Structure 1
C-alpha cells in the first residue's frame, strides 16, 4: 500500500480582493480534482486573498499508480489559465514508512 500527497501553492489573479472572490477560483479547481477520486482540500493561506494552497491525497496498491494520479492532478492545476502554479510539494509513503 502506498500513499501520496501533493500540495499546490497557487497565485490567484489580481481581482481576488475578497475571500468570496478567492473561493470562486478555488472551488472549481477542487471540484475538478475530485474527478480523479482523490481527497482534496484547501489547506493553507486561508486568510490571504491572492494565494491558496490546495492539497491532494491518494492511496493505491502500486507506487506507480500513485505517481500517475498525482501527475494528472498537477497537470490539471498547471493547465488552469486563470491561476499561476508557484510550486508543488509531493511525498510518497510506502507500507514500511
Structure 2
C-alpha cells in the first residue's frame, strides 16, 4: 500500500477579502475531491487574502497509481485560471516505511 501527499502553494487572483478567498478555494477543493476521490483541504495561509496552501492525499496499491493521481491533481490546479500555481511538494510513503 502506498500513500501520497501533495501540498500546493497557490496565489489567488483578484481577491480582497477572506470571504472572497473562500469563494475561490472551496470549489477547487470540492472539484479535487469529486474528480479524483482524494482527501483535499486548505492546509495553510488561512489568514492571508491572496495565498493558500491546498493539501491532497491519496492511497493506492501501487506507487504509480499514487503518482498518476497526484499528477492529475497538480495539472488541475495549474490549469485553473483564477489561481497561479507557485510551487508543489510531494511525499510518497509505503506501508513498509518505518
Q: TM-score, normalised by structure 2?
A: 0.95
Q: Which runs of 4+ in 1 moved over 6 A?
A: none
For structure 2, the 5+ residue unaligned runs are none
What is the distance in 2 between the residues matched to 1:69 and 1:48? Answer: 28
Aligned-CA RMSD value = 0.6
What does the per-residue CA deviation read over 1:40-72, in whole Å, with 9 as the maximum and x for residues that have no partner? Answer: 000000000000000000000000000000000
Gap runs ≥5 in structure 1:
none
Structure 1 residues 18-33: aligned runs within 5 Å: 18-33=17-32
Shift of 1:81: 1.0
In 2, Cα distance between equivalents of 1:82 and 1:43: 19
Using the size of structure 1 for normalisation, the TM-score is: 0.96
